[in-house]
Amino acid sequence: MFFNYNKIKEINWKLQTIKLISNISEFKGRQELYLKNPTENLNKLIKNAKKNTIKVFLETNNFMILEKEYKKILNKNYHNLLVDVYKNFLNQNKFFKNTPLVSSEIVEIFNLLFKDKIKENNQRINPFALEALCDNLNVYCEDKNMEILILIANFLYDFISLNIFLDKTKFISALLTNILLLKNGYYIGKYISIETNILSNWKMLNYKNKSLTEIDNRILFINNLLNIINQCYLEFENKVKYFERKISISKKVEKIIAKKITKFTKGDILKLLPEVSNSSIQKILSKLVKANVIEKFPKGKYTFYIKINN
C-alpha cells in the first residue's frame, strides 16, 4: 500500500538533501551543548514555543486570533478550556518517550485534542492502513543504514496522503513531526514551535507538481520538511545568540558602574558603549535600580545615578 522504504537506499540523493541533513545534524550537536547549561532564557523559549503552538491549535479549532487580542481571548471560558486541553496533552509524557509510534497512540492524541472523537472502527479511519504505516516506520527505524530524518519525512508524506483526520490532518501531521523528532533525540520542537512553522508553510510543504513522478514529489516534500526543520534550528540559535548578547551588554554596563565612584548618567554609559542603543542601556539601568544596585536621582530631565555600596 505504501512506499517501499527500501527504495530510499536506491535514491541518488542530491546535494541539497545531503546538505540539509548535515546542517540539521550540526545544529543538533550545538543545541546539545547549549542544553548542558540550562538558563532562564531557555525556559523563556519553552514557554514561547508552547504559546505559539497553542495559538495554532486554537486556529485549528476555528478560532482565528490576533497577537494583540491573544491575552484577552484567553480570558474567555471556551478558549481557556481549549488551552487546558492542549496543556493536558503536553503533560502526557508517554507520547514523547523514545518508544515506537503505534496507530492507537495517534488516535488517542486526536481524541485528547478534539471534541469530535474518533474510534479506530470509524468509517473515517482504516485501522489496518494506519497500523501498517506505523509498523513500516518502526521496522525501518531499526535499520542503521537508514537516515532517520528521511524516514520521518516519508512517514509524514504517507500519513498526509491518508487524510484520516480531514481538516485536522494538517495539525496532527505537524504535531507528529514534533513527536517523532523528540522520540529520536531532536529536541528543537521543545524550544521552537515546529507546528507553527509547518502550518505557516503548509502550501509549500504539501505542494505536488503534476508533471513530476510520485517519487520526485516525495523527494520534494522531504526537502521542504528538512528545510523547515533546518529553519527552526537556525531560529533557535539566533534567539540564543540574542540572549547571550543581552547578557554580555548587561555585564559590560555592570563593570562600568562598578568602577564609578561618583554619580553618573545614562549618557556617560552611552559614551563608553556607543554600539549599544539608548533603549537597551535604559532597560539595564532600570533593572539595576530595581535590584538595588544603583539609585536614581531625581525623576526628571537631569536624571543621574549613584552606586549603592552594600
Each residue's pLDDT tens digit, 209-228: 888 888 899 999 999 999 99
Residue finishing a domain among 242, 274, 297? 242
pLDDT band at 120 (very low <50, low <70, confident <90, very high): very low
Rounding to the nearest 10 degrees, give the CA dihedral for residues 235, 237, 241, 247. 100
130 or 114, which is more confident: 130
Residue 178 lies in a domain: yes
Average pLDDT of span 240-265: 86
Residue 193 lies in a domain: yes
How far is 149 from 233, CA to CA, in rounded Å? Answer: 14
Regarding whether 300 and 197 lie in a shared domain, the answer is no
Residue finishing a domain among 194, 214, 242? 242
Range of the domain at 274: 260-307
For residue 121, pLDDT beyond 50: no
102 or 177, which is more confident: 177
Q: What CATH number has the domain bearing residue 138?
A: 1.10.3290.10
Q: Are 284 and 249 in contact (CB under 8 A)?
A: yes
Regarding whether 103 and 52 lie in a shared domain, the answer is yes
Q: Within 13 Å, how many C-alpha atoms sit on residue 249's CB side?
A: 21
DSSP, collapsed to helix, strand or coil, labels residue 307 as strand
For residue 70, pLDDT beyond 60: no
Regarding whether 207 and 156 lie in a shared domain, the answer is yes
Residue 33 lies in a domain: yes
Residue 251 lies in a domain: no
Q: Are 178 and 189 in contact (CB under 8 A)?
A: yes
Residue 214 lies in a domain: yes
Nearest to 228 by CA among 254, 261, 192: 192
Mean pLDDT of the chain: 84
Regarding whether 147 and 234 lie in a shared domain, the answer is yes
Regarding whether 278 and 235 lie in a shared domain, the answer is no
Regarding whether 284 and 174 lie in a shared domain, the answer is no
Least confidently predicted of 22-36, 63-77, 258-272: 63-77
Regarding whether 224 and 153 lie in a shared domain, the answer is yes
Residue finishing a domain among 242, 269, 286? 242
What does the pLDDT read at residue 125?
A: 59
Residue 117 lies in a domain: yes
What does the pLDDT read at residue 290?
A: 92
pLDDT band at 83 (very low <50, low <70, confident <90, very high): low
Residue 55 lies in a domain: yes
What does the pLDDT read at residue 245?
A: 80
Regarding whether 198 and 85 lie in a shared domain, the answer is yes
Regarding whether 235 and 270 lie in a shared domain, the answer is no
For residue 146, pLDDT beyond 60: yes
Regarding whether 267 and 220 lie in a shared domain, the answer is no
Regarding whether 237 and 291 lie in a shared domain, the answer is no
Nearest to 170 by CA among 205, 138, 120: 205
Number of domains in the chain: 2
How far is 26 from 204, CA to CA, in rounded Å? Answer: 25
Residue 254 lies in a domain: no
Regarding whether 264 and 209 lie in a shared domain, the answer is no
